[in-house]
Homo-oligomer: A and B are copies of this chain.
């Protein structure tokens, strides 16, 4: 190996995964074995493994070994009136999930801002973990004002849907005010819950729902395993773009000068 040993190893293994020589779930040779195979030092092997783990192509487990990732790659349709379960089932994945925590906490700065409450005001915080075929996909926080929705936790615990819980509190119609998406490094707890590499990024999706008067009633924050999901915004948000009004149209990210 020359001066690009780790890239060569990365690309070689990446190719073998892509071409099907290495099947999902397969265990890779151990580091000493890879060292012999590629006739290189341990650092180069580890650098390549780290890069592939970061992309989500490998799953590295201390004490066990390194495996070809077999996590699902799902298209998650946002903005449609479908539920998580339907969303997954339509793509052949088996949805599951669990409630990790459910408590009343003082609103953080961000939550207070989203819900238009005072910082520190009591809010219901629900944390769920959703999975596809048993593989963690998303950590979902939801926040509702505990004063406005006193029975929220109880209703949700009884198995009521979000919509039903809102209706029980007199809200019969509500709207999505905004959805934002950005990427960041996973915190260590998140990486653990999502069963992904420490250095792998997550996609953070934040939403605010408002009632018919425009008053915020709910805020949610989803932490998604970035390598396992693609978001699709389709259909519903099709807005006709009319070239007739010249200053109002942008289809591409057009910033020529």
Contacts and interface: CB of A to CB of B under 8 A. Distances in A.
Interface of A: 51, 54-55, 75, 78-88, 95-97, 99, 128, 130-131, 138, 140, 142, 159, 161-164, 166-167, 171-185, 199, 201, 203, 207, 209, 218, 220, 222, 226-227, 229-244, 246, 248-257
B254 A179 contact: no
B201 A130 contact: no
A243 B178 contact: no
Contacts of A218: 251-252
B178 A253 contact: no
A85 B254 CA distance: 7
A241 to B, nearest CB: 6
Given A172-B244, A233-B233, A254 B54 contact: no
Contact of A255 (B88, B207, B235, B244): B88
Contacts of A185: 51, 54-55
A251 B218 CA distance: 9
A250 B95 CA distance: 15
Nearest to A233: B179
A18 to B, nearest CB: 13
Contacts of A227: 183-184
B55 A180 contact: no
Contacts of A232: 178-180
Contact of A166 (B183, B239, B243): B243
A233 B178 contact: yes
